[in-house]
């Protein structure tokens, strides 16, 4: 779906980053411009309302151009870990959104409006959930302390949206280097990336606040130092460090300081976290490894029991078999796993895909039904059940479930895609085009969204109420574009 409008978004990214060279000339600051330590004072640089608007615009751009993963199971897991930290954060002014980027680099990044991206490569290298949480806590601290806004405040000659647009282009380069190179040529990419490098004081502040948050949330406060050490050791001999180390410089003194700060809190020896191991296995089997290698890797892991969690190894092997079109082998494994943990969302998701693949969608419906009844707005349960209903040609049930889900998850891409599919297969073309419009809007492609709504209008016939709603939505999309221009 991205490919249909990726060219226009590359052009947009190029426009947004056109001010890179001018801004880069001001990258070095003297001591007189040292930033204050209280994050909320940056409100005169950009208000919280505008920060939300700009963050939403950047997120839409990233969905369209970078390899953002739409995976309900992984999204649910990452959001859960993030939320467990956010409830212990100070100055959390808005809901946080955590998302995955399919990139093997060790990296994570934060930007306006509480958006935090995590590369799959970082998850692959993390040894335990506390190490993952230590990175999230650090990025949450950058947001709550408003470090980007404070940088803008110091950079008086740049308007808020000019720098925010610049950051948007650089974030895309970080998430997808190929797209970034296409959008930022002539040697400006390297200097542009420096624009979101945080000052040493910002990094120290984020480390300090993040480790305290980590401890309050019940994670091991020593995890930050241990993950720092892992990164430093892995890249000690390479000529070019990963993006994470370029944007978050890692020195021996910083590692030592993290260890010292962790010493202020009691050490926690936590057991192996099953959900973390399953999420890590899913990333390897579905996103990091090629299908053939994934099968070999997890067959060896199961045979040799090299993974810390046998269940995670079996789960990874089942996913690898599914990618390699060995569905019956996958089903045999998943039958065993789900018998021992019938409410596990990772397992329910895999079993749904297996039943649909085998042409048995009603088995998936019945498997999920009691769980959906208990928790109807859980994204894993609701979206899998909707997918199963569509496969069973029960479009009304799918649409009803998705409408309810979208009431509280209005920006969830897969839900709109499933809704569009259900409407298309049930030959409700006006509603189908309306759902497609919502998908395009999530990518920031408002012109394409308006086109879809105009198609929807033509299919609406004599239904004046639907036509009125479509006209209102067209106006909303155009107003959103104009609002960004006015900023």
Integer Cα distance of 181 and 190 in angstroms? 10
Determine whether 205 is an active site residue: no
- For residues 84 and 189, the model is more confident at 84
Q: How does the average pLDDT of the chain come out, rounded?
A: 80
| Average of per-residue pLDDT across 159-169 | 53
Q: How do residues 13-39 score in pLDDT, each as one tens digit?
A: 222 222 222 222 333 333 333 333 334
Predicted confidence at residue 122, as pLDDT, reads 93
Q: How do residues 359-415 score in pLDDT, each as one tens digit?
A: 999 999 999 999 999 998 899 999 999 999 999 999 999 999 999 999 999 999 999
- For residues 401 and 193, the model is more confident at 401
Predicted confidence at residue 1, as pLDDT, reads 39
Residues facing 100 on adjacent strands = 69, 118
Q: How do residues 94-151 score in pLDDT, each as one tens digit?
A: 789 999 999 988 888 888 889 999 999 999 999 999 999 999 999 999 888 876 766 6
Q: Give the residue ranges of the annotated binding site for Zn(2+).
A: 138, 142, 203
What angle is formed at CA 277 by the lines to CA 384 and CA 71, rounded to 5 degrees?
30
| Average of per-residue pLDDT across 168-173 | 56
Token pair of 42 as six digits: 């940056």
| Average of per-residue pLDDT across 200-222 | 87
- For residues 188 and 272, the model is more confident at 272
Whether residue 222 is predicted with pLDDT greater than 80 in this model: the reply is yes
Whether residue 418 is predicted with pLDDT greater than 80 in this model: the reply is yes
Alpha helices in 375-463 (DSSP H): 379-391, 395-408, 413-425, 429-442, 446-459
- For residues 312 and 165, the model is more confident at 312
Q: Give the residue ranges of the annotated binding site.
A: 138, 142, 203
* Environment class of 67 (CB within 10 Å of its CB; exposed 0-12, middle 13-18, buried 19+): middle
Spatial contact of 139 and 248, defined as CB atoms under 8 Å apart = no
Q: What residue ranges of the chain are covered by domains with CATH 1.25.40?
A: 271-358
The catalytic position among 75, 207, 257, 277 is 207
The band of 48, judged by pLDDT with boundaries at 50, 70 and 90, is confident
The catalytic position among 51, 71, 131, 139 is 139
Spatial contact of 181 and 66, defined as CB atoms under 8 Å apart = no
The band of 193, judged by pLDDT with boundaries at 50, 70 and 90, is very low
Whether residue 60 is predicted with pLDDT greater than 50 in this model: the reply is yes
Backbone angles phi, psi at 379, to 5 degrees: -65, -35
The band of 281, judged by pLDDT with boundaries at 50, 70 and 90, is very high
Integer Cα distance of 423 and 425 in angstroms? 6
Looking at domain 271-358, its CATH architecture is Alpha Horseshoe (1.25)
Integer Cα distance of 315 and 73 in angstroms? 13
Determine whether 479 is an active site residue: no
Rg (CA), the chain: 23
- For residues 264 and 190, the model is more confident at 264
Whether residue 59 is predicted with pLDDT greater than 50 in this model: the reply is yes
Express as a percent the part of the chain with pLDDT over 70: 75
How many Cα atoms within 13 Å fall on the side-chain side of residue 420? 18
Predicted confidence at residue 484, as pLDDT, reads 72
Instruction: Report the range of poorest mean pLDDT among 178-182, 400-404, 435-439, 459-463.
Output: 178-182
């Amino acid at each position: 779906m991205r490919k249909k409008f990726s060219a226009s978004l590359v052009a947009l990214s190029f426009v947004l980053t056109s001010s890179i060279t001018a801004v880069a000339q001001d990258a070095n600051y003297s001591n007189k411009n040292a930033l204050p330590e209280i994050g909320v004072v940056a409100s005169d640089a950009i208000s919280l309302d505008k920060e939300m608007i700009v963050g939403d615009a950047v997120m839409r751009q990233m969905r369209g151009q970078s390899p953002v993963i739409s995976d309900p199971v992984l999204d649910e897991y990452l959001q859960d870990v993030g939320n467990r930290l956010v409830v212990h954060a100070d100055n959390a002014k808005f809901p946080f959104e955590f998302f995955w980027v399919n990139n093997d680099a060790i990296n994570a990044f934060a930007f306006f409006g509480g958006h935090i991206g995590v590369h799959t490569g970082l998850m692959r290298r993390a040894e335990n959930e506390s190490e993952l949480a230590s990175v999230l806590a650090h990025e949450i601290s950058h947001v709550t302390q408003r470090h980007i806004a404070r940088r803008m405040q110091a950079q008086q000659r740049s308007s808020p949206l000019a720098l925010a647009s610049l950051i948007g282009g650089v974030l895309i380069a970080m998430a997808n280097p190929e797209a970034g190179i296409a959008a930022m040529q002539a040697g400006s990419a390297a200097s542009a990336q420096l624009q979101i490098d945080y000052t040493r004081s910002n990094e120290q502040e984020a480390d300090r606040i993040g480790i305290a948050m980590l401890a309050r949330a019940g994670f091991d406060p020593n995890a930050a130092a241990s993950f720092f050490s892992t990164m430093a050791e892995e890249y000690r001999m390479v000529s070019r460090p990963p993006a994470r180390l370029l944007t978050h410089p890692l020195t021996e003194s910083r590692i030592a300081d993290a260890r010292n700060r962790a010493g202020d809190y009691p050490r926690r020896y936590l057991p192996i976290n099953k959900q973390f191991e399953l999420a890590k296995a899913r990333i390897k089997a579905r996103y990091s490894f090629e299908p053939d290698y994934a099968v070999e890797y997890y067959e060896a892991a199961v045979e040799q029991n090299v993974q810390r969690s046998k269940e995670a190894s079996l789960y990874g092997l089942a996913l690898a078999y599914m990618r390699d079109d060995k569905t019956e082998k996958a089903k045999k494994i998943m039958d065993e796993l789900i018998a021992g943990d019938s409410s596990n969302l990772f397992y329910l998701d895999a079993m749904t895909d297996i039943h649909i693949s085998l042409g048995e969608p009603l088995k998936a419906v019945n498997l999920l039904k009691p769980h959906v009844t208990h928790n109807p707005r859980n994204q894993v349960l609701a979206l899998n059940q909707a997918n199963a209903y569509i496969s069973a040609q029960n479009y009304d049930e799918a649409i009803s479930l998705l409408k309810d889900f979208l009431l509280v998850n209005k920006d969830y891409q897969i839900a709109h895609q499933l809704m569009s599919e259900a409407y298309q297969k049930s030959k409700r073309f006006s509603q189908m085009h309306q759902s497609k419009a919502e998908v395009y809007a999530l990518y920031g492609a408002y012109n394409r969204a308006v086109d879809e709504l105009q198609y929807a209008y033509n299919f609406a016939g004599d239904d004046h109420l639907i036509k009125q709603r479509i006209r209102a939505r067209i106006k909303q999309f155009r107003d959103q574009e104009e609002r960004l221009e006015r900023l």
